[in-house]
């Protein structure tokens, strides 16, 4: 007697999730026994091998493929949820087929990312790529797991905690001196709870920025630029001390909100309002409530003059050019006359001429004694307007670290690069198209600081 299409679909679904049966149970036990020892060899707790989904993530840490492990773990978890849900829907129903398609899709995603994890594990153990054939199959992965886990000749080139120890060895072990004026940042750690463990996003960043300086903030994707500025302006508190002109950004946050301005990449304006009313509303929100109406009006007119918006004061926001909208976004934050001004890609979408005009206006703002910090992905076309550069980079533990802080000319000498975009390539990881020299420059900067 043959099987029905529905029974065949159930078999297919169960096969993608490990399937029932004595053989599968034995294979899973052997795999977990090997994985337990592999985790222990990398200084992780072996019992993670017993927890579905989490074990893939922990294995990715052993392989130096933690981001891939997050995706694979989430995809596997989604498969488990959908599998349970598929048992609740009626046979031959649309819901069953939807669950099946989603299960196959997520399992394919998990499989592709697991291949990257196994590739990283092969590199860590220094064995031949042919081992991938055994790791790739659910029916044979127990073989390398057992051999690598229990045979002494198979040892990882590094352990998970080695990266943490290396990171601590590269610590500056110092702090920036707190001044009465300017910005002092002593950020010890910014961390989050993520995937069953504490994840450190930023660590050991210390600097002092004088008043009147315009600073370029550089860093590759994931280096922590946005996390850093959010910690500095108090939006996301870190284990840190941030002092602006003698006042603590964290303990005096309500008052210091008026002293900081942050312009995000996205434009937050109503298209149907005029330029004047957009700035007038911003003045009501950002200036203290006891400021008289006449003073607010005068401040709006001053800011419009600074950014060349007076000729279009009656124009609707939706009618403005891209450059005018950028200037209006910045003017909205400048209304409160902040001492610290942070901008996330203000020149995004602008051509070279418009970008230079915008940076020239920001340079004028800095020359009034304010601190201006700018994130931009095209720094070389406007580099002459900056005094200093901050370079953030991910170390071997994928933690955002300070690779350099100093003048533009000092940065060129330090990295041996003339262009700022070349500096980013030097500190980016190899899989991101970079040279993978982040740890080298982080250690070099710490050494320079100690000298």
Q: For residue 115, what pLDDT is reported?
A: 94
- pLDDT (tens digit, 9 = 90+) per residue, 98-121? 888 898 999 999 999 999 999 999
Which of 107, 124, 156 is the C-terminal boundary of a domain? 156
Of 156, 180, 197, the residue that ends a domain is: 156
Q: What is the pTM of this model?
A: 0.74
Looking at residue 163, its pLDDT comes to 62
Interior angle at CA 397, CA 166 and CA 170, nearest 5: 30
**182/247 same-domain check:** yes
CA 174 vs. chain centroid, Å, equals 25
Indicate whether 57 and 206 sit together in one domain. Answer: no
User: Which CATH number fits the domain that encloses residue 203?
Assistant: 3.40.50.300
Count how many domains the chain has: 2
Contacts 24+ apart (CB under 8 A), 257-260: 258/286, 258/287, 258/288, 258/336, 258/338, 259/338, 259/339, 259/340, 260/233, 260/234, 260/338, 260/339, 260/340, 260/341, 260/342
Separation CA 427–CA 199 (nearest Å): 21
CA atoms of 449 and 445, how far apart (whole Å)? 6
Asked whether the predicted pLDDT for residue 342 surpasses 90, the reply is yes
- Quote the tokens at residue 248: 């603590």
Residues 188 and 335 in one domain: yes
* Cβ neighbours of residue 364 closer than 8 Å, sequence gap 6 or more: 306
Percent of the chain topping pLDDT 70: 90
Question: What residue numbers bound the domain in which 222 lies?
Answer: 166-450
Residue after which a domain boundary falls, among 130, 156, 182: 156
User: Which pLDDT tens digit goes with each residue over 64-74?
Assistant: 888 899 999 99
The pLDDT tens digits for 152-187 are 999 998 888 666 666 666 666 667 778 888 999 999
298 and 421 part of one domain? yes
Shared domain for 306 and 436, answered yes or no, is yes
Confidence at residue 2, expressed as pLDDT on a 0 to 100 scale: 45
In a domain, 161, yes or no: no
3-state secondary structure at position 304:
helix
Residues 115 and 180 in one domain: no
Q: How many residues does the chain have?
A: 451
Q: Is residue 441 part of a domain?
A: yes
Same domain, 281 and 318: yes
At residue 337 the predicted structure's pLDDT band, cuts being 50, 70 and 90, is: confident
């Amino acid at each position: 007697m043959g099987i029905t299409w529905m029974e065949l679909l159930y078999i297919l679904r169960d096969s993608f999730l490990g399937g029932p049966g004595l053989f599968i149970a034995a294979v899973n036990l052997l795999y977990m026994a090997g994985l337990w020892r592999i985790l222990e060899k990398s200084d992780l707790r072996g019992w993670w091998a017993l927890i579905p989904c989490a074990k893939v993530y922990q294995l990715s840490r052993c392989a130096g493929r933690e981001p891939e492990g997050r995706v694979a773990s989430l995809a596997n978890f989604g498969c488990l949820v959908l599998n349970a849900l598929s048992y609740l829907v009626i046979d031959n129903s649309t819901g069953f087929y939807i669950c099946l398609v989603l299960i196959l899709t997520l399992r394919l995603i998990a499989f592709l990312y697991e291949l990257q994890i196994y590739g990283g594990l092969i590199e860590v153990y220094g064995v031949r790529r042919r081992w991938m054939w055994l790791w790739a199959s659910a029916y044979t992965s127990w073989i390398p797991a057992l051999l690598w886990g229990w045979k002494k000749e198979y040892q990882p080139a590094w352990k998970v905690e080695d990266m943490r120890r290396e990171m601590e060895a590269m610590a500056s072990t110092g702090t920036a001196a707190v001044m009465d004026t300017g910005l002092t940042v002593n950020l010890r750690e910014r961390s989050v709870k993520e995937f069953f463990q504490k994840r450190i996003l930023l660590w050991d960043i210390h600097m002092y920025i004088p008043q009147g300086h315009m600073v370029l903030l550089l860093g590759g994707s994931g280096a922590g630029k946005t996390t850093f500025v959010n910690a500095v302006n108090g939006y996301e508190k870190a284990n840190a001390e941030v002092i602006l002109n003698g006042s603590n950004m964290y303990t005096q946050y309500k008052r210091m909100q008026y002293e900081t301005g942050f312009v995000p990449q996205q434009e937050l304006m109503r298209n149907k309002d005029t330029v004047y009313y957009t700035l007038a509303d911003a003045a009501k929100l950002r200036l203290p409530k006891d400021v008289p109406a006449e003073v607010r009006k005068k401040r709006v007119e001053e800011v419009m003059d600074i950014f060349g918006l007076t000729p279009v004061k009656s124009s609707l926001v939706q009618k403005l050019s891209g450059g005018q909208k950028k200037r209006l976004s910045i003017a909205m934050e400048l209304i409160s006359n902040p001492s610290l001004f942070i901008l996330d890609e203000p020149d995004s979408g602008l051509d070279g001429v418009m970008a230079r005009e915008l940076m020239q206006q920001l340079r004028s703002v800095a020359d009034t004694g304010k601190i201006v910090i700018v994130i931009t992905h095209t720094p070389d076309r406007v580099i002459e307007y900056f005094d200093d550069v901050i370079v953030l980079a991910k170390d071997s533990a994928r933690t955002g670290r300070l690779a350099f802080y100093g003048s533009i000319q000092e940065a060129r000498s330090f990295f041996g690069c003339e262009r700022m975009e070349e500096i980013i390539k030097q500190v980016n990881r190899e899989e991101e198209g970079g040279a993978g020299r982040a740890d080298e420059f982080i250690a070099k900067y710490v050494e320079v600081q100690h000298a």
